[in-house]
Structure 1
């Protein structure tokens, strides 16, 4: 597996653990529908939350939220629509982004953007 894929998988696991410590429940990880993938599907306070996780080893090339462009948003929304239908969800939903940042001292930090798009 390529290093960026390993970093991405590790970042998704770290983001899931981070959200769980905040009271979120993990429902699915790496949910796929056609060409779309949702990194994490969580539940929190009656909301179904679709989370896009982005890893950054620095901010020299930009911040995590800047890498979730319109096309990526549309793919996530399409997959979310399929998941909602599949599990027969009738409550509210939200789309979040979690940036996972590792600094030069190998310290991991998180930036959570709630209701980031839709």
Structure 2
């Protein structure tokens, strides 16, 4: 199984988990020229931009640590592109979440993991 397939499997797991929490998945792997967001979802009036990170071991740190300031900035830029593409106003309520999956397949959900837009 290549990295893309592994990532896809954990994105599916994350999406299922979020749906169990009552969160509506709007889009998977939203892409634009700037980059990609793993999951776009909606909870109440909030649009959620969700990054899914998997690490097979803690050798290079925990999965959530990979969502560093540089990655956060890119996610925010892609989120802005999503809002523009869908004709949503800049005042749209947004939240940036992270789903971290460790080598045992243990999922940890970080709501409002970082500020943005």
TM-score range normalised by the length of the shorter chain: 0.7 to 0.9
Match in the other structure for 2:112: 115
Match in the other structure for 1:71: 70
Partners of 1:24 and 1:38 lie apart in 2 by 16
Match in the other structure for 1:95: 96
Partners of 2:103 and 2:60 lie apart in 1 by 14
**Farther off after superposition, 52-61 or 10-19:** 52-61
Q: Please give the residue correspondences for 1:1-118 in structure 2 after superposition, counting only pairs within 5 Å.
A: 3-90=2-89, 91-103=92-104, 108-117=105-114, 118=116
With the length of structure 2 as denominator, give the TM-score of the two structures.
Answer: 0.88
How many Å apart are 1:3 and its aligned residue?
A: 2.2
How many Å apart are 1:78 and its aligned residue?
A: 0.8
List, as ranges, runs of 4+ consecutive aligned residues in structure 1 with deviation greater than 4 Å. Answer: none
Where structure 1 has 5 or more consecutive residues not aligned to the other structure, the ranges are: none
**Farther off after superposition, 57-66 or 11-20:** 57-66
How many Å apart are 1:21 and its aligned residue?
A: 0.6
With the length of structure 1 as denominator, give the TM-score of the two structures.
Answer: 0.87
Q: Secondary structure at the match of 1:58?
A: coil
Q: Aligned pairs, how many?
A: 113
